[in-house]
Every structure is written in C-alpha cells, then in structure tokens.
C-alpha cells in the first residue's frame, strides 16, 4: 500500500526528449517505474531509451495509446502551465511538475482549473514522489530510502533527501515520500498529504519538513491536532533567516510579520508534534 504512486502507476514524461527529461527518465526506469510514454510536440513517432519508450505529439494521444494515468513534467517554465493544462485535459489522475520558476500568475490560473476537476497536481518546483521499492516519479534519488512505515511530506527537495537517508541509516523505511514544492502557489499542500497518510494503512507515523514563509505549517498543525491519530515529527528550515530575505524557494520569505519559523514551531508543538532542532534528530523522535 502507498499513496499516489505504486508499481501499477503508468507514467508518461512530458519533455522526455530534453536533456533533463531524458536523464531522469533513465533514472526512473532503472528504479523500476513503469514509464509507458513520452510527449514532445513535433517529435511524435520517435522512440527513446533504446527503443523502449515511444514519443507522442500530445498527452491525449499518448494516454489513449498506452493507458498512462500519471505524468511528470520536465519542460521550461514558460511552457509549464500549458503542459499541466494538457495533462489535466487528458484526464490523468496525477500530474507531477518538476519545473521551477513557473510564474505565480500562471499557477493561479492552473490552480483555479485544477480545483474544479479530479486531477491531483504535485508541484511545481518539487522533487516529485517516491514509494520505495515500487515507483519513483521525479528526481528523488531512489537509493536513499528503503520501504517502511514512515510517511514523509516536504516543501524542500534537498532536505527531503537528507531525512530519508537519515531514516535509512537507522534502518527505518518510508511508505511514500512526497515533495510538495516551495512555491507560493502549488497544487498540493501539507493537509492534502497528511490526510492521505492518515488513511493509509501502510503508514504508521509521519515526518513533515516545512520552512519559513506562508502559513501552511500553521494550518497543518491545526489539522494534526484535530484530525490525525498518527504521531508526527517535524523540522522547520530557515530558523535563522532575516525578515524580507527570500531563502531558497520563492515562497520561503518572512513578510508582514508572518511566516517566521518560531510561529510555525510554536503551532506544531501546541498540536503535539515533536519538532527537531536539526533534521538528523527526526529518526530518533519517530522511534
């Protein structure tokens, strides 16, 4: 059992013929992900991966021909919104957008549309999702996690890798790891993923990795306090960040007196969440 992706996921890659798309397709296929198609307009009829993966001109045609039910997007920022719309219109259940630098205005249009349909969008500017031993969709290194019962959700890519590896070092595995991305407007938030973990029988405990900026962590704390029965441990990045200075992600900025690490930590601790001072403390907190 897992959330969002598993060994039955049939994945197509938008932007598969670009350098990034092709490189990460090779990594995903090597991990065991079932990549059934690629999409690059104008390149339909070609094959990649030594003739193993067909390339189509559109997501709709690719999905109809291969039964793909999920997409991962590796296209330049100016094309990302259209790529998401195309995948959504093709009826795919899950869209994972790796692209960073997508304009907020574009994402506001995307979010308004996605909220009206059944499609789940992850990202943009996210590392994707990994269900250890089953499927890897995106850029999370497959060798840093082992199968287990810890659900992980994170706004940060690099921090995700650090914590997954720290869990592995303690022989603790992950059920699924979800990178939601650090942009101000994205498709999936902490509460969305926490609710999935709460309902997932393969997940017994959860690690949540937040950062400064916005109020998503405070909202998650309220959800944890009122709706979750499973134990949660957390880490908030940017605890020494000065107000008004963006740290890494577009959404990681303290503005107008909100978004500070101290506020997030206080809200989480009041919700019964154990909050680590350093990421490597998390495995011991989960026990």
Instruction: Please identify every residue annotated as catalytic.
Output: 249
The Cα 32–Cα 26 span in angstroms is: 10
Q: Strands 10-14 and 47-48: what pairing?
A: unpaired
Three-state secondary-structure class, residue 176: strand
CB neighbourhood size of 168 (10 A): 18
Three-state secondary-structure class, residue 266: helix
**151, 194, 268 from 228: Cα distances, Å:** 13, 8, 13
- With beta carbons less than 8 A apart as the criterion, state whether 137 and 70 touch: yes
Q: Determine the angle formed by the axes of helices 261-270 and 216-227, rounding to 10 degrees.
A: 0
Sign, Cα dihedral of 94, 202, 234, 217: positive
CB neighbourhood size of 198 (10 A): 17
The Cα 202–Cα 183 span in angstroms is: 29
**128, 173, 275 from 142: Cα distances, Å:** 12, 12, 26
Q: Strands 135-138 and 128-131: what pairing?
A: antiparallel
**50, 63, 203, 260 from 1: Cα distances, Å:** 32, 24, 9, 36
């Amino acid at each position: 059992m897992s959330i969002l992706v598993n060994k039955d996921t049939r994945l197509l890659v938008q932007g598969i013929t670009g350098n990034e798309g092709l490189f990460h397709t090779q990594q995903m296929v090597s991990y065991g992900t079932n990549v059934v198609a690629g999409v690059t307009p104008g390149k339909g009829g070609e094959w990649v991966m030594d003739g193993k993966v067909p390339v189509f001109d559109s997501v709709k045609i690719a999905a109809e021909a291969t039964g793909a039910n999920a997409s991962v997007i590796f296209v330049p920022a100016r094309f990302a919104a259209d790529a998401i719309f195309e995948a959504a219109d093709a009826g795919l259940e899950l869209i994972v957008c790796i692209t960073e630098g997508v304009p907020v205005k574009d994402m506001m249009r995307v979010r308004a549309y996605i909220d009206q349909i059944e499609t789940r969008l992850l990202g943009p500017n996210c590392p994707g999702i990994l269900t250890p031993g089953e499927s890897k969709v995106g850029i999370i290194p497959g060798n840093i996690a082992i199968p287990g019962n810890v659900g992980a959700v994170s706004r940060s890519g690099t921090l995700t890798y650090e914590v997954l590896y720290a869990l592995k070092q303690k022989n603790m595995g992950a059920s699924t790891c979800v990178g939601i991305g650090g942009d101000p407007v994205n498709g999936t938030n902490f509460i969305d993923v926490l609710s999935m973990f709460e309902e997932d029988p393969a997940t017994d405990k959860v690690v949540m990795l937040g950062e400064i900026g916005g109020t998503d962590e405070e909202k998650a704390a309220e959800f944890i306090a009122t709706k979750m029965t499973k134990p949660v441990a957390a880490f908030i990045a940017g605890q020494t960040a000065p107000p008004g200075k963006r740290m890494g992600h577009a959404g990681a900025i303290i503005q107008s007196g909100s978004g500070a690490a101290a506020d997030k930590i206080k809200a989480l601790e009041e919700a019964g969440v154990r909050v680590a001072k350093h990421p490597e403390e998390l495995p011991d907190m989960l026990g």
